[in-house]
Amino acid sequence: MSQRFDIIGAGIAAPGLPDWQALEDALAGSGLCQERQPAPSSLLSPRERRRAPRAAKLSFAAAEQACAMAGMAPGEPVAVFSSAMGDLDITDYMCRTLADDPALLSPIRFHNSVHNAASGYWSIGAGATGDVTAISAWKDSATAGLIEALARLACTPDPVLLVVYDDLAQGPMRELWPTSQDFSGALLLARPGHGRAMASLTAEPSAEPADPGELPAVLIERIDDNPAAQLLPLLALVARPGAAVTMAAEQGPGLRISRIPA
């Protein structure tokens, strides 16, 4: 089985990779961008920005770029938020408070501790009343996110926003989740012919090991550092002409994604 789809918007937010231009520059061999930071979210009011957890700010930075690039209102597409660990900042707060004095637990931080906090704030900020979901597949979260997004695209004609993100661990969890750089990537998927495509692609299930294609060492390091950055090869395939990449999974099938020449 092979599925054709277009990418109509894309975004990235990570240290040294604050936006799409920075990714293009890195792919052209110019190294990482030290001048800019990811733009703050325009979806959250100053009050919501204070309340919103780190996972929301991290994921929004890439997701808003993807929607803007496609000229699509952020509340319009169905959205799939995929993350191995969710909000590690809040996990640290929750477990520390429960160990010290559970009566002091903050109700806001508790409701922000759900894995769908980022997607929930997205729905509120963007006014998205369609489906906005939150999934996880641990280190396979980039591949599983794409599988979930492709399955939605096969069933309904509307564009699907895929956001893959993971943060750094705090405190003792660092030993179990040693990621040193946060990462967030977003793709707006559409059926062929929906709008102006950045890239036309095909995806088919694969049992092969991951193949990131030709990438500069600074980007390969990110893939090794943060499983969410397993989306990088696909982002790179969208950013510049290339042949194909393979996104693998420890459990279950991976995907071979090929670019259809324009």
Partner 1 sequence: MRPLSVTAMTLTCAAGTGLAALRPALIEGRSGLRANDFPHCQLETWIGRVAGVEETELAGDLAEFDCRNNRLALLGLQQDDFIAQVEALKERVPASRIACVIGTSTAGIGVTEEAYREMGPQERFQPRHRLPRVHTPHTSAAFTARVLGLDGPVLTISTACSSSAKVFASAARLVAAGLADAAVVGGVDSLCLSVLYGFHSLELVSNQPCRPFDQARNGLSLGEAAGFAIVEPDAETGFGRLLGWGESSDAHHMASPHPEGAGAAAAMRQALDQAGLGSDRIGYINCHGTATPLNDRVEALAIRSVFSKPPPAASTKGWTGHTLGAAGIAEAVFSLLALSDEFLPAGLNLDQPEAEWADFILRQPLRRRVEAVLSNSFGFGGSNCSLIFGRLAA
What residues contact residue 151 under an 8 Å CB cut-off, 6+ apart?
none
User: Total residues at the site for partner 1 (CB under 8 A)?
Assistant: 64
Residue 75 binds to partner 1 (criterion: CB under 8 A): yes
Q: How far is residue 86's CA from residue 229's CA, in Å, rounded to a whole number?
A: 15
Both tokens of residue 243? 């042949």
Residue 129 binds to partner 1 (criterion: CB under 8 A): yes
Which of residues 147 and 219 has its CB atom nearest to partner 1 in the complex?
147
Residue 180 binds to partner 1 (criterion: CB under 8 A): no
Choice from 171, 180, 224, 243 touching partner 1 (CB under 8 A): 171
Burial letters for 164-190: b for 16+ Cβ neighbours within 10 Å, e otherwise? bbbbbbbeeeeeebebebbbbbbbbbb
- Strand-pair partners of 78: 160
Residue 151 binds to partner 1 (criterion: CB under 8 A): yes
Which of residues 20 and 226 has its CB atom nearest to partner 1 in the complex?
226
Give me the least distance between CB of 86 and partner 1, in Å please. Answer: 6
Under a CB-based contact definition with an 8 Å cutoff, are residues 205 and 253 in contact? yes
Under a CB-based contact definition with an 8 Å cutoff, are residues 150 and 189 in contact? yes
Residue 43 binds to partner 1 (criterion: CB under 8 A): no
Choice from 18, 77, 120, 212 touching partner 1 (CB under 8 A): 120
Which of residues 26 and 169 has its CB atom nearest to partner 1 in the complex?
169
Residue 159 binds to partner 1 (criterion: CB under 8 A): no
Q: How far is residue 77's CA from residue 93's CA, in Å, rounded to a whole number?
A: 32
Give me the least distance between CB of 203 and partner 1, in Å please. Answer: 10
Residue 63 binds to partner 1 (criterion: CB under 8 A): no
- Strand-pair partners of 245: 257
Half-sphere exposure of 235 (CA within 13 A, CB side): 35
Which of residues 68 and 173 has its CB atom nearest to partner 1 in the complex?
173
Q: How far is residue 260's CA from residue 247's CA, in Å, rounded to a whole number?
A: 17
Residue 246 binds to partner 1 (criterion: CB under 8 A): no
Both tokens of residue 93? 């707060």
Interface contacts to partner 1, rule CB under 8 A = 1, 3, 75, 84-86, 91, 94-96, 98-99, 102-103, 105-107, 110-117, 119-121, 123-124, 126-138, 140-141, 144, 147-148, 150-152, 154-155, 171-173, 175-177, 205, 249, 251-253
